[in-house]
Each structure stands twice: as structure tokens, then as C-alpha cells.
Structure 1
Amino acid sequence: MSVFVLGSINLDAVARVDDLPRPGETVAGISLELFPGGKGANQAVAAARFGAPTRLMGAVGREDSGPSLKAKLAGYGVQVSDVAELPSIPTGQAHVWVSSSGENMIVVTSGANATLSPQHVAATPLEGQRVLLCQLETPAPAIEALFRAGVAKGALRILNAAPALPQGAALFPLTDILILNQTELATYARLDHEPSRLEEVSRVARKLMSRPDQTVIVTLGSAGVATVRRDEAFLVEGRKVKAVDTTGAGDCFCGALAACLSTGMDLRDAVEHANAAAALSVQKPGAAPSMPSRREVEQILAE
């Protein structure tokens, strides 16, 4: 039971506004808060909060917020010995705008995240890691190296192909479980619309598969989560909640799913748990601070 995450670590500056600005528009902020963030960090926190022993590989700046971010991640239960502190390179940052309805817009600058390389992976022992989890806010060659190394170790390889980048598709053949949202699915499949019905989502998702044993999971926002295999597809319906902040909801889903699968949980049950975790996360502000515990998730499932 263990999860190894290779991914980004950012300082999130979250500004709350009544309405998200249109192009060229200036709006007044209601508040500004600083949180630990980055898809890698968020997903590692979600997995650790769910109870899985979780290691995070990443990089931060040494002279700015990097050391304090490492300390905060450790406080959430994430093992951070594989997080490098780099001199003269800034920690990654995300500038997040959140509207009163809970919708968000995000601009990310990579900073130290862009320095991760196959050499970092080669120097890291992976024995005992049951699940490898990556996103696309770190260089693709490092992810490729990790997934290739994971084959020999018998690890389950999960790729959250976000943000949607051209180099992401090259990693799909090395992936056991691919996680996308509707927008990312449309981008990789080169569609001019976002699929929403299970039948179309399934048909499009299968076009991204390169092996018969792969799984594609498509998050559909409030509509729920579609899970697609070669010979089956099922929908876990979304939970009706009042969203305070949707930042990190997808990361929460990915981390919780990885934690569940690291215990050997059935895929359908794991998706149910991860879907419930994401629903809980949007009811609190921030990304990492909003990740629920396994006990909270099981309580909402019981209800």
C-alpha cells in the first residue's frame, strides 16, 4: 500500500472575486490567500490524507517559499525526502482567481518544476511503490522514465494528462489508467465539442487507448465520472453539493483514486470513493487544505 507521485509543487496565490474577469477587464478582489499547491503536491496530499503512505518527487526553490512548502506538505503526511531544494531557481507559482460561484481561472509558472529530469528518476529507488501517479506540470521525459522504470517493478501507472499538452499523448502507451476531464478529452481527441453522454465519452475515450488492458477515466464535473475499458463503461453520478472553491477537485479525485487502488480496492469502488472525496473538497477553500480524510469519505458514502 504505497503511492509515489512525481509532480509539480507551487505556491498558490488565490484571489477571490465576485465574477471572473473578461479579457481586458480589471475586477476588484475580495481577498487574497496563499496555499501550497501544484498538481503533484495536491494529489500527494489527497493520497496521504486518504491514508496511503505517499512519496512526492519534485523540486522547489531554496531561497523563497520552497522550504516552507516542503514543511507544510510533510505536515499533511507526505514524504518529501525526494523533493529537491534548488539554489537560484524560484519555486513554481499559480495565480488563481475564484468567483463567488466557485468557478476558477489559473495561470501557472513552472519555476523549479521544469528542472525534473530522467536522471532524478534514475537515482530514486522505487521498490515497494504500488502506484505511480503523474501529471503534465513537470517535463514529459521525467514521467516517461518513471513509467518505464515502473514496468519492471510491477507498479500501476496513472497519468492525469493535465494540462492538455501535445507531448502528453506520447505517454499514453506507457499508462495503465489515463485520467482526463471533458475539455482534455476533446483536446486529445481533436474534437470541436466536449463529449458529455456516456456513450459518446466511451467511444472517444477508446480511441485514445493503445492496449486492451488500459482504462480511461473522464471526470464530467457535476455529472460525475465515466470509467471506460475496452469491454465496459460505467458512470458514477456526481454528488449535489454547494461548491465554495473547485480548485484542486480533479487533483483530489486523482490522489484519492491512487490511494484506493494501492490497497487493492476494486476499480468501481475506488472511483466511487474518489468521486465522493472530490465532492467534499469543493466545499472548502484552497486545494491541498481541502483534501478530505478517508474517514470523511466513508462517512459520506455511508450516508
Structure 2
Amino acid sequence: MKLLAIGDNVVDVYLDRNEMFPGGNALNVAVLAKQYGAEDTGFIGIVGDDSEGDHIIDSLEKNLVNISHIRRAYGESGKAYVDIDATGDRIFVKSNKGGIQSKLRLKLDPSDYEYMKDYDVLHTSIYSSLDDQLPLVKQLLPISYDFSNHFTDELLKTVCPHITFAFLSGSDLGDKQIEELINKIHGYGTHYVIVTRGSKGVIMSDRTQSFIQGIEEAEVIDTLGAGDSFIAGFLTCYLNHHTIKQSLQLAALRAARTCEVNGAFGNGKQLVK
């Protein structure tokens, strides 16, 4: 399978050791899907012209992600400042709100749409400012969308008619709330709904059947990127013609392994003070 990711990218700056790692949901999914066996992955996004942007570009190239349609702009790359608690869970302290990405919204052009035809699925996120362009994108390939835990009814109603895979974080929701949420998203037109619940595992529905997947054991040192790893693992496995059950299990294993490394996929670099 071939996966294209469009949207958010940052460097995650670890304050305890003054080290930065490339990240952002869309970028992580592109890199991790390539690591998990995707034949080809690409990434389109806006990256600043600073040293952090250089590190993002270098990391994508080292991980063999196609960046032929990436944009570099004069300004600051996205930065998120992170601390890790005693359990290995990441705590976001502050950010620059996406840096230059928040000032220059990504606008796809005809060459981007032509480029998309080479891929089997497109992944994007709530942080990628692509929502108004989804009606055009869906005419070319299926869309996977990560809502994180910041979704609203209005956003679901806007996005879900255009996407095939919906990923949501529902660790603060009860079983009844999750059931209602899944039914609502199906009602808006999305075929596959996957709700991650932290240590409680995952609930998924494909309209006809529900699936439950528990977490896999891990020596946790950093949970950053675990959700992105789950998404990349599921899409890569399922779109390579494995069953939903097999894909969920492998995705859980991928997420567990991500918790055992710093950053979403490594590539740490010391910040210059």
C-alpha cells in the first residue's frame, strides 16, 4: 500500500534534556507507515526555514518519505514543548501554535491533486487545516482522519461525510458515550470508526460489527506518538489486505513499541542554546 499524509508537523522539544524530535500527527503517520512496510509514503506540509525545519526535512529524507510537494516558508517551524512524568506519559507544556503553519494555511493545487493519484489512502488530522478541501480529495482516494480528543459535533458533521476512517481519542468517555459517538459518525457517512481509550484499549466498528482490542505490554519510557503509531500500524496492515482483527492487534503492538523509545520514532537532536 501507498500512504500520503498531509498537514501538521512540529518538533517536540523535551525540556528535561534540551532535545528535539520531529513530530506531528500527519508527519508521524507518514514516517511510521513507511517503517511498518508501506511501499511508499509521502508528506505534504508547511515547514519553517529555521534549524528545526532543517531537522524535520532531514528526518523525513532519512526515513525515505517522499517530500517532493512539501512547502518551506519564511518563519518559525511548529514547536511543542514536552515534559515526561514518572509513568512515561508526555505532558505538553506550551507550543508556538504551529508556527508559520498557522499563518499560512496549506492550499492544495492541481499538481498536488495529480500527485495524490499515486497513493492508496490519504491521512490528515484535526490540526492540519484541510477540512474545506476534503470534498475534492475524497474524489481521488479514501481519507483517514485523526480527530484526537478535540472534536465537536459541528466538526464531525463537517468532516465525516468525506472520510473513510475516523480515529478518535475517547479515554475520558464511558461505554455508552462511545457507542453513541460511533453511531453518530456512521450516520454522517464514515465507514470505519476507531476509538482509542488509553490503557483500556480500542473499540472499533465497521458498521456491521464491533471489535475490541486491548493494549500490549510495554516498557514505557515515553508515550508520545503511540496513537500515531497505532494509526500507521492499522492502516498499513489493513490496506495490505489483512483482517480488521489482525490489523488491530498489530497496531496495538506497534503502539507499545513506540512507548519504548523517546519521541514518536527517534531522530532526536540536541538544541543549540
Q: 1:54 aligns with which of 41, 49, 61?
A: 41
In the TM superposition, what are the counterparts of 1:119-268 in structure 2 within 5 Å?
119-124=107-112, 125=114, 126-139=116-129, 142-145=130-133, 147-153=134-140, 155-162=141-148, 164-166=150-152, 168-169=155-156, 170-183=158-171, 194-195=173-174, 197=175, 201-211=178-188, 214-268=191-245
How far 1:180 sits from its partner (Å)? 0.6
Match status 1:72 vs 2:56: no
How far 1:273 sits from its partner (Å)? 1.3
The amino acid of 2:173's aligned partner reads E
How far 1:210 sits from its partner (Å)? 2.7
How far 1:204 sits from its partner (Å)? 3.1
What is the aligned partner in structure 2 of residue 12 from structure 1?
12
Larger mean Cα displacement after TM superposition, 272-281 or 255-264: 255-264
The verdict on how the C-alpha distance between 1:104 and 1:262 changes in structure 2, with shifts beyond 3 A counting, is same
Q: Residue 288 of structure 1 aligns to a residue in which SS? A: coil
Q: Structure 2, unaligned stretches of length 5 or more?
A: 268-273
What is the aligned partner in structure 2 of residue 23 from structure 1?
none
- Checking the alignment, whether the CA contact within 8 Å between 1:38 and 1:94 is kept in structure 2 is no
How far 1:60 sits from its partner (Å)? 0.7
Larger mean Cα displacement after TM superposition, 203-212 or 236-245: 203-212
Q: 1:163, 1:144 → 2: CA distance?
A: 20
What is the aligned partner in structure 2 of residue 186 from structure 1?
none
How far 1:212 sits from its partner (Å)? 5.9
- Checking the alignment, whether the CA contact within 8 Å between 2:10 and 2:79 is kept in structure 1 is yes
Count of residue pairs brought into register by the alignment = 259
- Checking the alignment, whether the CA contact within 8 Å between 2:160 and 2:188 is kept in structure 1 is no
How far 1:219 sits from its partner (Å)? 0.8
What is the aligned partner in structure 2 of residue 294 from structure 1?
none
The amino acid of 2:208's aligned partner reads D
Q: Structure 1, unaligned stretches of length 5 or more?
A: 17-30, 184-192, 291-303
- Checking the alignment, whether the CA contact within 8 Å between 2:163 and 2:190 is kept in structure 1 is no
Q: 1:73, 1:214 → 2: CA distance?
A: 31
What is the aligned partner in structure 1 of residue 105 from structure 2?
116
- Checking the alignment, whether the CA contact within 8 Å between 1:222 and 1:239 is kept in structure 2 is no
The amino acid of 2:105's aligned partner reads L
Match status 1:276 vs 2:253: yes
Structure 1 residue runs of 4 or more that deviate by more than 3 Å after TM superposition: 165-168
Q: Residue 187 of structure 2 aligns to a residue in which SS? A: coil
TM-score with structure 2 setting the length:
0.86
Cα RMSD of the aligned pairs, angstroms, is 2.1
Q: Residue 101 of structure 1 aligns to a residue in which SS? A: coil
Q: Residue 15 of structure 2 aligns to a residue in which SS? A: strand
- Checking the alignment, whether the CA contact within 8 Å between 1:202 and 1:233 is kept in structure 2 is no
Q: 2:213, 2:181 → 1: CA distance?
A: 18
- Checking the alignment, whether the CA contact within 8 Å between 2:8 and 2:45 is kept in structure 1 is yes
TM-superposition CA deviations, 1:155-210 (whole Å, max 9, x none): 22111112514463221221111101115xxxxxxxxx522x4x653343212323
